[in-house]
Amino acid sequence: MSFETAMEIVIKAENLTKRFGDFTAVNSVSFSVQKGEILGYLGPNGSGKTTTIRMLLGLLTPSAGSIEVLGINVQQNPEPVRQQVGYMSQKFSLYHDMTVEENLAFYAGVYGIVNRQRINAVLEEIGLTEVKRSLVQNLSTGWRQRLALATSIIHQPPLLFLDEPTGGVDPAARRAFWDLIYQQVEQGVTALVTTHYMDEAEYCTRVGIMQSGRLLALDTPQGLKKSMASTTIWDIHATPLLPTLTRLEKHPNILLVRLASDHLSVITAKDMDKKSLEHIIEQGNSKCVQIEEAEPSLEDVFLTLAGNN
Amino acid sequence: MLELVIQTENLSKSFGKTRAVDNVNLSIHSGEIYGLVGPDGAGKTTLMRLLCGALHMDNGKATIAGYDITNQAEHARQQIGYLAQRFAMYEELTVWENLQFFAEVRGLPSKEWVQRGKEILEFVGLEEFAGRRAGQLSGGMKQKLGLASALVHRPRILLLDEPTTGVDPVTRQGFWQLIIRVVAQENVTVLISTPYMDEASRCMRLGFMRQGKIFLEGKPRDLCAKLTQQIYELQGRPLQLLRQIAAKHAAVENVQMFGGRLHLRIKRGQAKTLGRLKSEIRSAGAIVDHLKPIDPQLEDVFIALVEK
């Protein structure tokens, strides 16, 4: 018995480029996404994430390069692509003076779906049945995000684009939303998600990091952490803590330092050893209490890759 | 003993039937960076507005640097710098004029604020942009101007209401370095609210907030320690089958997908029965690459508590 399925490419971008005048928003980006993946897309504001999604949706024409989505050439045939993808934007549009059910029925109508059963099935699937007669204006952010997701899957798209879908909710609600994404993926849906949350990035099967229009890295969360092999992450307990941090920040051999509650998390090049680091710390009036090596987090990867602007 | 600079007792505020802030007790010491974590509507903003005097409490007591916020409101307010989530600035005024406006609102004569204004602009890295209109600043620069305006009267306490929401990790890191310098160099105490757990893990202490209440408080290290030896990572395939089997296992309280892996939350003290889970999975014809304990994250703590 084999659990492997043949790889099916859902998105294929080659040398994708978008220029606005002199400004290159997306610079020769190539990647492909397989069926059933959840691709996380990270990057500073203005790094080209949304521009990339818009090109994939056929809403913007690339200046160069090519895109195939669901086997369709997007530049030549944007219409059929849009009918087969779901898109939830960070500022999703719901009608606040209509109920949950009415909003969903409205979006169903946009896609030409008049089948009541499909609407009820989606309400059930996304866990909205209990609030279906509530006005959107009376719902919390978490419920609205669920409804926005429901509207984006009403036409059963095999590919979902989620642009910062979970702002303003707590980790429990964020997790519950992700369980819905996984539920879709188990049914064979592929998802591309942009986010600023590092915990969310950990939920993705692969993560791409964009900076100034370039795709700097694209790998599994574990793979990205392994890519930090040329650096060492240190947990440093020192007193006084904050003055130590502000001094280390200026030191040329310290790549990054941040506060981690009661200690400091520091990134250095691989060739830095514990003794030299201790020496750097104690050069000021700081006292080292404990220094140990630590595992890199995705935030470390992101700050190291995208932070060197 | 460090001085208590923010202290509240049963602080409460309702809007109609909604108890926005419900019997909150806070004790924050001088030089602390205290984080408030919770969803929209949890009461974080209302709590900050009560502390800075923009709203009046229904019940309870609060002191700011020893001043009672009801009876000594003016003194209390002078101690506070407040950066609202959507802070107001005059887009058609320059950076310097905005700073001047906020200083004068605070009642500072020019001989006091001009020198401080220069110092604070240099501190946040906006000195070159003093003459630029605020409307022409980037998002990150506006945030810095907001911070400068909140600091111009040398407050001892800084209230920051989700200053980094919607902001990427690189910009967040830069903003945090500024906050830390404020704390280290000016001995300011910070109360900051955030939806980001990576950011929460930087704070010295945290309060998790829901429905107006602080339902858990502590140092990130101590909060995570509550789940020590209870979070396991399971990797193998096919993931769906692994998930089903793990969810049925008696010792497993909760299963979460994590990309190509699963995170299991194990009932306290029951980790030793996990050996059977591996064999159950294998006898179902699935593959286990590894099953190992991992360090709990703040996110795990929050979710575990909310589920109870």
What integer best gives the mean pLDDT of chain A? 93
Is A107 found in the same domain as A171? Answer: yes
Is A238 found in the same domain as A101? Answer: no
Report residue B248 as tokens. 């049925």
Q: Which residues of A touch B165 (CB under 8 A)?
A: 167-168
Tell me the CATH number at B276: 3.30.70
Q: Where do the DSSP E strands lie in chain A?
A: 9-20, 23-34, 38-42, 64-69, 72-73, 85-88, 159-163, 190-194, 206-211, 214-219, 231-239, 254-260, 263-269, 287-294
Contact B62, B178 (CB under 8 A): no
Question: Kind of pairing, strands A85-88 and A159-163?
Answer: parallel
> Structural domain of residue A57, as residue ranges?
9-219
Cβ contact, residue pair A173, B220, below 8 Å? no
Q: Which of A42, A221, A306 sits opposite B259 (nearest CB)?
A: A221
Is A298 found in the same domain as A155? Answer: no
pLDDT digits (tens, 9 = 90+) for A176-191: 999 999 999 999 999 9
Is B253 found in the same domain as B202? Answer: no
| Predicted local distance difference test score (pLDDT) of residue A4 | 46
Q: Which of A173, A175, A303 sits opposite B39 (nearest CB)?
A: A173
Is A298 found in the same domain as A175? Answer: no
% of chain A beyond a pLDDT of 70:
97
Is B144 found in the same domain as B277? Answer: no
pLDDT digits (tens, 9 = 90+) for A30-69: 999 999 999 999 988 889 999 999 999 999 999 999 999 9
Is A172 found in the same domain as A57? Answer: yes
In 3D space, the residue among A202, A204, A205, A119 whose CA is nearest the CA of residue A154 turns out to be A119
Tell me the CATH number at A56: 3.40.50.300
Is B209 found in the same domain as B242? Answer: no
Is ipTM > 0.85 here? yes
Is B148 found in the same domain as B44? Answer: yes
Q: Please, what is the Cα angle at A171 between A170 and A172, to 5 degrees?
A: 90
CA distance A62 to chain B (A): 25
Is A271 found in the same domain as A176? Answer: no
The total domain count for chain A is 2
CA distance B97 to chain A (A): 28
Put simply, the chain A residues between 234 and 273 with a CB less than 8 A from any chain B CB are 240, 242-243, 245-246, 249, 256, 258-262
| Predicted local distance difference test score (pLDDT) of residue B85 | 84
Is B207 found in the same domain as B267? Answer: no
CA distance A63 to chain B (A): 26
Tell whether the model's pLDDT for residue A93 goes beyond 90.
Answer: no
Final residue of a domain: which of A219, A245, A272? A219
Q: Which of A182, A261, A303 sits opposite B220 (nearest CB)?
A: A261
Final residue of a domain: which of A219, A239, A259? A219
**What is the count of residue pairs from A and B with beta carbons less than 8 Å apart?**
141
The total domain count for chain B is 2
pLDDT digits (tens, 9 = 90+) for A247-283: 999 999 999 999 999 999 999 999 999 999 999 999 8
Is B102 found in the same domain as B16? Answer: yes
Tell me the CATH number at A288: 3.30.70.100
Is B171 found in the same domain as B26? Answer: yes
Final residue of a domain: which of A219, A238, A263? A219
Is B196 found in the same domain as B126? Answer: yes
Average pLDDT per block of 10 residues along chain B, 308 residues long = 92 96 98 93 95 96 96 95 87 95 91 92 94 91 92 96 86 91 93 91 96 96 93 93 94 91 93 89 94 92 84
Is A204 found in the same domain as A93? Answer: yes
Cβ contact, residue pair B170, A262, below 8 Å? no
Put simply, the chain A residues between 77 and 136 with a CB less than 8 A from any chain B CB are none
| Predicted local distance difference test score (pLDDT) of residue A91 | 80
Is A192 found in the same domain as A86? Answer: yes
Residue A167 touches chain B, beta carbons under 8 Å: yes
Q: How far apart are CA B14 and CA B213, in angstroms?
A: 12
Is B174 found in the same domain as B203? Answer: yes
> Structural domain of residue B259, as residue ranges?
225-307
Residue A280 lies in a domain: yes
pLDDT digits (tens, 9 = 90+) for A185-234: 999 999 999 998 888 999 999 999 999 999 999 999 999 999 999 999 99
Residue A59 lies in a domain: yes
